[in-house]
Amino acid sequence: MQLKFDFNNMMDGTLKEQGISEKELDAVKGIAKDAYAYFEKNRGTGWMGWSELPYNQAEIVGDIICTAAEVRANFKNFVVLGIGGSALGPMAVFNALCHLRYNELDPSKRGVRFYVEDNVDPERMYALLDVIDVKETMFNVITKSGATSETMSQYLIITDILKKKCGKDWAKHIIATTSESKGNLIKLAKKEGFKTYFIPDGVGGRFSELCPVGLLPAAVLGIDIVGLLRGAANMDKAANSSDIYKNAPLMAAALQYIAMEKKGKNISIMMPYADSLKLMADWYCQLWGESLGKAKDLDGNIAHKGQTPVKALGVTDQHSQVQLYTEGPYDKVITIIGVENFRKDMLIADGAEEFADVNFLCGHTMGELINTERRATEYALTRSGHMNRTIMLDSVNAESIGELLMFFMLETAYCGKMLNIDTFNQPGVEEGKNATYAMFDRKGYEAKKAELEAAPQKNERYII
């Protein structure tokens, strides 16, 4: 295993009265055990289909690798059209495992340029079209439901342009990743003859990075997707105990459960100390927020569970949010992700001998500096009594990223069960989607439109 989970700074031994005691951990061992048993009993079934992705995709992985090679040979750009769980994973893995200035590299040093369009801001669509030639571009339309307004509007805009610019071959510029049995995209794919990959039924959007949603873009980028899946399998196999001290994601879930339910920690900050993991925080925010933020529990009681996820970046945010983390309210858990060995390091050169307060840096490396600052932040947070925990990766590579993705998915699934909520639905998101449909006069949403029209009007006095 390349990932280590250090939760010392959650415990009362270091945090004193703000910390969690072993007695408190003992008190939740039972529900943690139940959450583990529930997960094991249901793995691979219902919405837990994602748990088997590291093991059941040998054939599809082979097909994806062939398609990726064809894309690299025939196109200059690869554009993902998708949103939420159909975009954040591909972005996080790209950011983690490709050059940090990938698209700007000389073409001889990279493969196809890569873009993920996860918004419907018209200026952004224009900006994309200013920098790509659609004739040289493969578009990967990713939507599990095949109905998401944002993605389907992008699809319509792009196919219209492709038809005009590429003529009869336009459909060769689209790969559809969607549900095999539901939604409009699969129907369109069949009609137009798009190459298609399927998102398995039991794999929800935010748990889909390890299926073709994430594997195809990663393979196109030359990322070792077999290594990614191997890392995920390693984490899954390591989490094979109902004892919280032997199962890191289960311990992580138990600690967050206590933090939320007993200690009033309503905020979960994800703070990687590596630019390559910056977008992993975005991916985590969706996973944690959309999975755990629920109005009702599984018994139908009003519960309003969840912890607000916040993304931060070390060391950048040491000069911004860390003031609040260190001295603000005791309402948060800060998860730091550290990297032991950076893929490249840089010596801080001599040149300031006469200035002692600069010269102390000379002869050290940037890797040493970022890791020292990480440890210093952990110390400052702990000294001020703010709960923090550290996930250390030996280095950032396909396997360690697979481990990290699986760690957070397992933690989320365990924690959702401990909170007694439905981890895998998103009724709050659906409500917003339905209101949009009603405002656009979509057929079948007349009642919703009437409901919207009956809602209290805005008071002009409050708009200045």
The residues annotated with a catalytic role in the active site are 290, 319, 433
Q: Is 153 or 341 the residue whose CB approaches ligand PA5 more closely?
A: 153
Q: Is 11 or 176 the residue whose CB approaches ligand PA5 more closely?
A: 176
The least CB distance from residue 85 to ligand PA5, in Å, is: 3
Residue 176 in contact with ligand PA5, rule: CB under 6 A = no
- Which one of 57, 426, 438, 445 is in contact with ligand PA5 (CB under 6 A)? 426
* Cα torsion through 280, 265, 300, 283, rounded to 10: -10
Residue 52 in contact with ligand PA5, rule: CB under 6 A = no
Q: Is 165 or 296 the residue whose CB approaches ligand PA5 more closely?
A: 296
Place of tokens 């590579």: 397
Residue 81: strand pairing partners: 117, 141
Residue 244 in contact with ligand PA5, rule: CB under 6 A = no
The least CB distance from residue 198 to ligand PA5, in Å, is: 12
The least CB distance from residue 106 to ligand PA5, in Å, is: 34
Q: Is 150 or 317 the residue whose CB approaches ligand PA5 more closely?
A: 150
Tokens standing for residue 154: 């992008």
The least CB distance from residue 445 to ligand PA5, in Å, is: 17
Rounded distance between C-alpha atoms, residue 299 and residue 439, angstroms? 33
Q: Is 283 or 407 the residue whose CB approaches ligand PA5 more closely?
A: 283
Residue among 47, 23, 39, 455 at smallest CA distance from 253:
39
- Which one of 90, 205, 249, 416 is in contact with ligand PA5 (CB under 6 A)? 205
Helix H, strand E, coil C: the string for 231-278 is HHHHHHHHCCCCCHHHCHHHHHHHHHHHHHHHHCCCEEEEEECCHHHH
Rounded distance between C-alpha atoms, residue 458 and residue 464, angstroms? 12
Rounded distance between C-alpha atoms, residue 242 and residue 16, angstroms? 27
Q: Applying CB under 6 A, which part among 118-126, 141-149, 226-234, 368-376 lies near ligand PA5? A: 141-149
When CB distances to ligand PA5 are compared, the closest residue is 205
The least CB distance from residue 101 to ligand PA5, in Å, is: 28
The least CB distance from residue 268 to ligand PA5, in Å, is: 17
- Which one of 14, 18, 145, 384 is in contact with ligand PA5 (CB under 6 A)? 145
Residue 148 in contact with ligand PA5, rule: CB under 6 A = yes
Residue 367 in contact with ligand PA5, rule: CB under 6 A = no
The least CB distance from residue 199 to ligand PA5, in Å, is: 7
Give the x/- contact pattern for ligand PA5 in 60-89, rule: CB under 6 A: -----------------------xxxx---
- Which one of 54, 204, 249, 338 is in contact with ligand PA5 (CB under 6 A)? 204
Residue 144 in contact with ligand PA5, rule: CB under 6 A = yes
Residue 209 in contact with ligand PA5, rule: CB under 6 A = no
Strands 3-6 and 388-393: antiparallel
Q: Is 54 or 84 the residue whose CB approaches ligand PA5 more closely?
A: 84
- Which one of 209, 236, 290, 411 is in contact with ligand PA5 (CB under 6 A)? 290
Q: Is 208 or 335 the residue whose CB approaches ligand PA5 more closely?
A: 208
Distances (CA, A) of 203 to 41, 123, 194: 17, 32, 22
Residue 289 in contact with ligand PA5, rule: CB under 6 A = no
The least CB distance from residue 389 to ligand PA5, in Å, is: 25
Residue 279 in contact with ligand PA5, rule: CB under 6 A = no
How many residues interact with ligand PA5 (rule CB under 6 A)? 15
Q: Is 145 or 308 the residue whose CB approaches ligand PA5 more closely?
A: 145
Residue 310: strand pairing partners: 269
Residue 309 in contact with ligand PA5, rule: CB under 6 A = no
| Interface contacts to ligand PA5, rule CB under 6 A | 83-86, 143-145, 148, 151, 204-206, 290, 426, 429
